[in-house]
Structure formats: structure tokens, C-alpha cells
Chain A
Amino acid sequence: MRIQCPFCGLRDWSEFSSLGDANARRPDGDAPAADFFDAVYLRGNPAGPHEELWYHAFGCRGWLRVARDTRTHEIFAVDMCGEVAAS
């Protein structure tokens, strides 16, 4: 598997580290405990398209938001997290 890093170009999977589901977001500090439980522990874990966070540890050290099929490892889109947040 290779990931097209927007900054570094096409790089081998072994340069990256996966943090998993990109849609698990930390709730506001005053949110109920159930929301924190949901964010920390529950995952959709789909067989198919999956949005996830990858850290380019042995490259630009940027955080990437990757859309990937968990059955085929086909990658649909890769964005820098900072740019996703800014847009």
C-alpha cells in the first residue's frame, strides 16, 4: 500500500502511522460522559470506504486525512488535516 502525501508525493505505507477513524472527534469539555465514551471507544469500522487519520512519521510529519477502502486498500483522497480544518 502506498499513500500519496500532498507534501512529499507517493510514499510507502511503512513511513506512516495510522490513528484510525477520522470522524472520532473529542467532544466539548462540558459534553456528557456518554459523548466522550462514544468518541473514545465506539467505531463504525466499515468494510468499504473509511475516512482515517495517518501521520507521516518518516516524512513531512504532517497529519493526513485519507479516504480508503478497507477491503481493497484503494485510496480515494488524501488531504492535509490543517487544510481540511481551514477550509
Chain B
Amino acid sequence: MRYSIFGLMRQALRGHRDWTPAWRDAAPKKQYEVIVVGGGGHGLATAHYLAKVHGISNVAVLEKGWIGSGNTGRNTTIIRSNYLLPGNLPFYELSMKLWEGLEQDLNYNAMVSQRGVLNLYHSDAQRDAYARRGNAMRMHGVDAELLDVAAVKRMVPFLDFDNARFPIRGGLLQRRGGTARHDAVVWGYARAASLRGVDIIQNCEVTGFIEEAGRIVGVSTTRGEIKATKIGLAVAGNTSRLANLAGLRMPIESHVLQAFVSEAIKPRIPGVVTFGAGHFYISQSDKGGLVFGGDVDGYNSYAQRGNLPMFEDVCESAMALMPSLGRIRVLRSWGGLMDMSMDGSPIIDFTPRAGLYLNAGWCYGGFKATPASGWCFAHLLARDEAHEVARAYRLDRFATGHLIDEKGQGAQPNLH
């Protein structure tokens, strides 16, 4: 069923009785051409582009819970491409361009809203760093504007501009950045992939890999053995666990990142605003809740919940930036498992095991990367070569020294 305004009106007149499920909940077959492990945004996007761009629709997406139950449902929905390094910029800009055409491509309302992403700076040195980043973006054809304090005041007058320790001096603005509805991204990709024949298999946890003649040819799951010519892992948060099943050690630690949402208020914050003197980012959802977050808790964790001291730390940043937030009540908080890689950048590559491909290490940046991650992983799976914007995301870059370390923190994942 194709969605349109006329279809919606027709259904409204019939009392919405004739809607059909958006996608098919499939049972596993014995054999596929490609298995994608992980039914989050990245896995489903991979399946969609495999079917649409590369004509490979004999694909299964295996999900241990229900689709979108992992990090796609546990983020702050921000989309942007304001990176500095050449290994990252073209990739995230491809993602931004795919976001811009996503709803037409999927025939699904993902509520992509280019409301702008504003990074505040608080000192001369930080202004210089942001000017450099803005220049790097513009040289790659990405929009960036360096704003002075008067321009920032016009956009977001409610901030604490004269804070004694962290006065706001201006900001770097990417107008094309913004937010998207995270669940709708999952459902949209699932529906589009399912319509092209992809099997989406839920409650199907991979418990091991099947090996024949030195090649990985299938997976054992809680719903039986399933074979495939190629198997792709898109299981950020649990990459090490699954890679260990294939005998691989990863340059990754799993960390918990918390996010928070307040009670709904009238429209207040026009876009995404980030605090430059601490790690804090905030936006307002269409429902009215303020969605915000900060740093990872900082220790290895597979628990999808965080600790209160980090909550306090995030709220302190919030109060330093926007004192009026003190009167807002927080409704919910949640934690997601981040694949924190050793240089803060992702991996889309072959693995040393023939037949097994890897999409991992997304750190905090996974949601905004969803379309390009799927696009490039599908390219790798279909053609056995890296997509040109994802060539730097090699697994062996840690051994060869070609790191992509945006923050320059070194091999300490809890600092990225």
C-alpha cells in the first residue's frame, strides 16, 4: 500500500479500518544470498539499499529482539555533517544528502526536520577551532556559517550569554542539520526493504557462526541454522560479543550513553544547540519535550541504563547553558550501548574471516550516519569493494596508523 494524502483521507472516511501492517514479519528460510545481523537502522538501511540499489533482495535481517529496540530507539535523533577530517566529512555529507531525500525514497514520513545545528563557542581559541572546522566543511561542499554573538542572540535569546565562566561568544551553524523521528526511520526502512522482498526476522538471536572450508557460510540462531553467501554484522553495542563468536578481537569497548527527555512545553528551542564548554546537546521534539544528553558514563557496560552522577553532570551543563531549564521536570532517561572504537570513528570493512563483513564502531554518531552506513555497507556486501566515501573506515587502520581521531584523544574509548 502506497502512502499518500489521498490514501490517508480515504482511510479517514472509512474509520481507519483498512490499514495493513507496514512490513512483513517473516519466518527464516534455510538459505539467503545475504544475511544482515542486526535489525536496527543500519541493518535495515543496508537491506533496503541492497535490494534497491544493487538488486539483491534475497536478504534476511536477523534481530534478536524487535526491530529498532536497540540504539535506534535510544538516541537524541540529531542529524548533521559538521565534521573536520577528510575521512569523515564526505561520508557524513552523503548521509545528510540521503536524509534530505529519505522520505520520498521510502514513501514514509520520517519527520526529517532541517532546523539547524548550532555549536556554541566560548573563547577565542574555540572560535578559531570552529572557524577551521567550518572552512573544512565548506571546502567539502557542506554548509557552515560562523555566527557572532549578536546573531546567536537573535536565534536563541534565552541562553546565559554572560555566564561568568563560559560566556557565549558565538557559534558554528549548520542550517541543513536538524532532527529526524528515530522510530519512523526504522519502520520506513523496514517497510521499504520488506516491499522489495527482504525477510525481516525478529526474536532471532545469533548464537554462533557456521564454518565450511575456512569460510563463514551461515549462522546458528535461536530459530535454527541459516546459511548465506555473505554475512554482515550491523550490531553496534554488541559487536565485540558477536565478533568473539567468530574468533575476532575488536578495537572496540562497549559503553553506556544516557539521554533524557523533559515534560512537553510550548515551542522554545528552534533547532539543536550544543554547549561548547562541556558536552551537552539539546533540541525540542515535535511533541514538545526537550531531548538532551551528554557524555558516556565512562566505563565498560552492557547494561542499558546509566548512573546518576552522569545525569547530574549533564544537568549542570544544562543549567550553565540555559538556566530556565531548572524549572523543567525530566520525564524519562534511558541508556544505549555505544560501540566506542579506539579512535572515535566507525568501521565498514571486510573482516579477516572470509564471508563475514563488519559495520561497527559508531560511538555516539550512529543515528545521523544511518542512511550512508546502510548505503556503504550494502555497496561493500554487493560488490566486495569499499564505497568511495567509506574507504577510510578500514578495520586495519589501527594497525597501520591511519586513525581518524576527530577529538585527538588517542586510544582511550571513554574519552571520544
Contacts and interface: CB of A to CB of B under 8 A. Distances in A.
B58 interface: no
B411 A44 contact: no
Contacts of B244: 44, 46
B166 interface: no
A73 B255 CA distance: 12
Interface string A39-57: 0111111111010101000
A70 B250 contact: no
Interface string A1-41: 10000000000111001111100000000000010011011
A72 B241 CA distance: 16
A70 B307 CA distance: 13
Contacts of B309: 12-14
Interface string B226-266: 00000000000010110010000111111000000000000
A42 B253 contact: no
Contact of B298 (A17, A43, A46, A73): A17
Contacts of B249: 38, 42-44
Interface residues of B, number: 25
A52 B300 CA distance: 9
Secondary structure call for the A interface: mixed
Contacts of B250: 42-43, 45
Nearest to A1: B307
A45 B412 CA distance: 13
A44 B309 CA distance: 27
A73 B300 CA distance: 10
Given A20-B413, A45-B300, 17 more contacts: A13-B299, A13-B307, A13-B309, A20-B412, A21-B253, A21-B300, A34-B399, A37-B398, A40-B342, A42-B249, A42-B251, A45-B241, A45-B253, A46-B241, A52-B299, A70-B302, A71-B303
B119 interface: no
A70 B240 contact: no
A70 B301 contact: yes
Nearest to A71: B302
Contact of A43 (B238, B240, B303, B399): B240
Interface of B: 238, 240-241, 244, 249-254, 298-303, 307, 309, 342, 398-399, 411-414
B313 to A, nearest CB: 8
Contacts of B412: 19-20
9 contacts: A12-B309, A17-B298, A20-B253, A20-B412, A43-B250, A43-B251, A45-B250, A52-B299, A54-B299
B399 A37 contact: yes
Which of A17, A43, A50 has its CB near the most chain B CB atoms (within 10 A)? A43
Contacts of B300: 18, 20-21, 45, 50, 52, 70
A19 B240 CA distance: 18
Which of A45, A47, A48, A54 has its CB near the most chain B CB atoms (within 10 A)? A45
A18 B250 CA distance: 19
A38 B414 CA distance: 18
B307 to A, nearest CB: 5
A38 B240 CA distance: 15
Interface string A62-85: 000000001111000000000000
Contacts of A38: 249
A45 B303 contact: no
| Closest 7 pairs between A and B when the two form their complex, measured CB to CB | A14-B309, A45-B240, A18-B299, A47-B302, A41-B251, A41-B398, A42-B249
